[in-house]
Amino acid sequence: MSEEQDNNKVVYQAQSSETMGGSASPSPDMDYVRPAEIPEQDLYHGHSFITKWVFCQDAKVIGVQYFLTAVFTGIVGLILSWLMRLQLGFPEAAGFMTAEHYYQFVTMHGMIMVVYFLTALFLGGFGNYLIPLMVGARDMVFPYVNMISFWMFFIAVAVLMASFFVPGGPTGAGWTLYPPQTILEGTPGSGMGILLMLISLSLFVIGFTMGGLNYLITVLQARTRGMTLMRMPLTVWGIFTATVLAMLAFPALLVSAIMMTLDKILGTSFFMPTIIQAGEVLEYGGGSPILFQHLFWFFGHPEVYIVALPAFGIVSDLISVHSRKNIFGYRMMVWAIVGIGALSFFVWAHHMYVSGMNPWFGFFFATTTLIIAVPTAMKVYNWILTLWRGNIRLNTVMLWCLGFIVTFVNGGITGIFLGNVSVDVPLSDTYFVIAHFHMVMGIAPLMVIMGAVYHWFPLVSGKMLDEGLGKWHFWITFLGAYSIYFPMHYLGFIGVPRRYFEMYDSPYMASATGMNEFISMAAFIVGAAQFILIYNIIKTLKTGKKAGQNPWKANSLEWYTSTVPPEHGNFGERLPVVHRWPYDFSVPGAKEDFIPQTTPPSEVVHTKVEKT
């Protein structure tokens, strides 16, 4: 190895003296970037169809594989939500659906959307595609492990989907899988359904750990020359921090899944108290259901930020590029991401105010929950200040970003309500909670995903998505999502409980029947509107106009690959050398309104460029 490294050093030295203007003098030149310290990565190039497109070791292909699989599960989740809304809005039209079915759909919708759709899409999809490109690496550092990671995820999805077809159907315990009812008879899918769910989650965790190690080490150890941590795009920061959270939070999920599996098949009593079922005392006794809730939410709360942080990062980049202005307070944004990530491990029991835990915890967790609102609010201010007096281009991407900011603020403010114990107790388990988390971690990250798809599709495929269709897609989704979730806040305030199959004839429900029907109609329309995007993608792939290199005039490295779309190895002969952050837009004195990260300082001497 050492011999090879030496050879590389010679090559890089030549390169660096080249950038120093041919002079080999050691005096630090303006454009000096120190030589490469890591040897050129050894890449495995696939030759057959199987090694190129199926068991592929190229992070970009793996990213697309993750993306497509996650979108498939997302569509399943969408159909389940339609069925739920059909039951809630028009119960007479949903005669085929029993209460058991409804609970199963609720559970699977929740689990699919949080874990198998959003997490996989952001970290597996965008992470794999963008991290190596944005930090200037040839590929992820362990391509083989990366490939295994995707296939573990694929098997996890297959196992999850298989649970629809086993006797008893999938589990219907709610996505939080709270014991004891999860594994007791009477809960739908308490046989094979819950087992397959737990196995699938364990597989997901194992697969994700493999992927997560790749993302972390690629960001930490495989950046290109000149790429310091504080020159990375915020997208990478968001995905990186979310991956750190995932690596530390998923263990708690794995442990609780293992323990519940043992409770189910061996009859241990980790989580199971003494229970009388149908007049009969069960074998269980002495376990603590609260323990599961603590373990689950020790995972579950960081999970919220695993979904939110990549969205924060991506939206920062999109806003900056499409308003042609540097991101306001870049360092503050980075530290806010890191701070939110760190704090997210100290807030978990705010999901458990009504669980019967130690009453003193309410104080501790309400305090930490309100503290975490500070860095989050800082980010919102910074996005708005980035837009302030920017050269805003009101294209589809920007519309999604603006939609995100509004939705996120909305969901965030209801979060302040729910973070306080005394307000949460009457509101918990009502539609207010549903409205809150769908706004803040459902719709808001989804808007970012949509914006990101419109933004990076030209890179992935080389073709521009249709703007007209995109705007229809946005407006229907945006207005529709508000039609769905705004009324839900009200439903929560009048006390409509979540997870109920049918509201029967409660007096307060009589006033809400019309509202329920309205919400359901909106949900059908919004769901259907998502297929506009799929149509748009298919249409664009067939007849779309060519994008060319860097259609948005962005600065970050992914737009400066040797070919569009980038091939295996990303950057052709030589890796790019980075001299600045990716946000040099509209710099006074510069010829164009953007300065790519690879532009050396000597070319922009007369501009008022930020020193980064």
Site residues for other proteins, window 359-398 (CB under 8 A)?
359-361, 364
Number of chain residues interacting with other proteins (CB under 8 A):
71
Query: 133 or 547: whose CB is closer to other proteins?
Result: 133
Q: Which is nearer to other proteins, 311 or 575 (CB)?
A: 575
Instruction: By CB under 8 A, tell whether 413 contacts other proteins.
Output: no
* Cα separations in angstroms, 452 against 10, 242, 355, 404, 570: 40, 17, 38, 12, 20
Sequence-ordered alpha helix ranges (H) in 96-191: 99-111, 128-135, 143-162
Question: Which of 286, 468, 507, 588 is in the footprint of other proteins by CB under 8 A?
Answer: 286
Residues 6+ away with beta carbon under 8 Å from 48? none
Residue 277 interacts with other proteins (CB under 8 A): yes or no:
no
Provide, rounded to whole angstroms, the least separation between the CB of residue 40 and other proteins: 12
Residue 283 engages other proteins in binding (rule: CB under 8 A)? yes
User: Contacting other proteins (CB under 8 A), which of 104, 107, 224, 520?
Assistant: 224
Write down the least CB distance from residue 259 to other proteins, Å: 7
Bridge partners (DSSP) listed for residue 280: 277
Among 144, 363, 508, 531, binds other proteins (CB under 8 A): 144
Nearest distance from residue 435's CB to other proteins, in Å?
29
| Residue 98 or 221 with smaller CB distance to other proteins | 221
Please list, in sequence order, all residues whose beta carbon lies within 8 angstroms of the beta carbon of residue 508, skipping any fewer than 6 positions away: 494, 495, 496
Is residue 278 within the footprint of other proteins (CB under 8 A)? no
Helix (H) or strand (E) holding 24: none
Residues 6+ apart with CB under 8 A from 434: 485, 488, 492, 498
Residues 434-493 touching other proteins, rule: CB under 8 A, are: none
151 binds other proteins per the rule CB under 8 A: no
**What mask, x for binding other proteins by CB under 8 A, covers residues 93 to 132?**
----------------------------------------
Which among 493, 460, 483 is positioned nearest to 561, based on CA atoms? 460
280 binds other proteins (CB under 8 A): no
- Bridge partners of 463? 546
CA dihedral sign, ordered 222, 228, 230, 234: negative
Q: Where are the beta strands (DSSP E) in 77-123?
A: none
Q: How far is CA 202 from CA 156, 209, 257, in A?
A: 8, 11, 7
Binding residue for other proteins, selected from 50, 79, 93, 220, defined by CB under 8 A = 220
Q: What's at 247, amino acid-wise? A: M
Residue ranges in 20-79 that form contacts with other proteins under rule CB under 8 A: 33-38, 42, 44
Options 65-73, 117-125, 290-298, 445-453: segment touching other proteins (CB under 8 A)? 290-298
Residue 225 interacting with other proteins (CB under 8 A): yes
d(CA 315, CA 318): 5
Binding residue for other proteins (CB under 8 A) from 7, 98, 228, 549? 228
Query: In this structure, which amino acid lies at residue 555?
Result: N
Residues whose CB falls within 8 Å of the CB of residue 477, separated by 6 or more in sequence, listed in order:
403, 447, 450, 526, 529, 530
Backbone angles phi, psi at 609, to 5 degrees: -85, 145
- Give the per-residue contact string, 522-561, with other proteins (x = CB under 8 A; - = no): ----------------------------------------
18 is an interface residue for other proteins by CB under 8 A: no
Nearer to other proteins, 145 or 385 (CB): 145
Q: Which is nearer to other proteins, 141 or 481 (CB)?
A: 141
Interaction residues for other proteins, span 194-213 (CB under 8 A): 209, 212-213
Beta carbons within 8 Å of 512's beta carbon, 6+ residues apart = 491, 494, 496, 503
Tell me: does residue 217 bind other proteins (CB under 8 A).
yes
Q: Does 287 bind other proteins (CB under 8 A)?
A: yes
Residue 223, amino acid:
R
Q: Which residues contact 204 (CB under 8 A, 6 or more apart)?
A: 115, 116, 152, 153, 156
Q: Which is nearer to other proteins, 356 or 589 (CB)?
A: 356
Joined tokens for residue 135? 């930090």
Closest approach of Cβ 295 to other proteins, in Å?
6
**256 or 430: CB nearest other proteins:** 256
Report the nearest approach of other proteins to the CB of residue 593 (Å).
26
Between helix 234-265 and helix 289-322 the angle, nearest 10°, is 160
Amino acid identity at 570 = N
Binding mask 236-275 for other proteins (x = CB under 8 A): -----------xxxxxx-xxx-xx--x---xxxxx-----
Beta carbon nearer to other proteins, 41 or 530: 41
Least separation in angstroms between CB 145 and other proteins: 8
CB of 252 to other proteins, least distance (A): 5
Nearest C-alpha neighbor of 442 from the set 121, 176, 127, 118: 118
Smallest distance, other proteins to C-beta of residue 468, A: 43
What type of residue is 229?
A: L
Taking CA atoms, 136 is separated from 40, 44, 302, 366, 580, in Å, by 12, 18, 28, 42, 13
User: Would you give the binding string for other proteins spanning residues 558-587, x where CB under 8 A is met?
Assistant: --------------------x---------
Angle at 272 between CA 266 and CA 275, to 5 degrees: 110
Q: By CB under 8 A, is residue 1 in contact with other proteins?
A: yes
Contact residue for other proteins among 21, 285, 565, 572 (CB under 8 A): 285
Closer residue to other proteins, CB minimum distance, 202 or 430: 202
CA dist., res. 509 & res. 114, Å (int)? 29
In the list 114, 159, 194, 290, the residue contacting other proteins (rule: CB under 8 A) is: 290
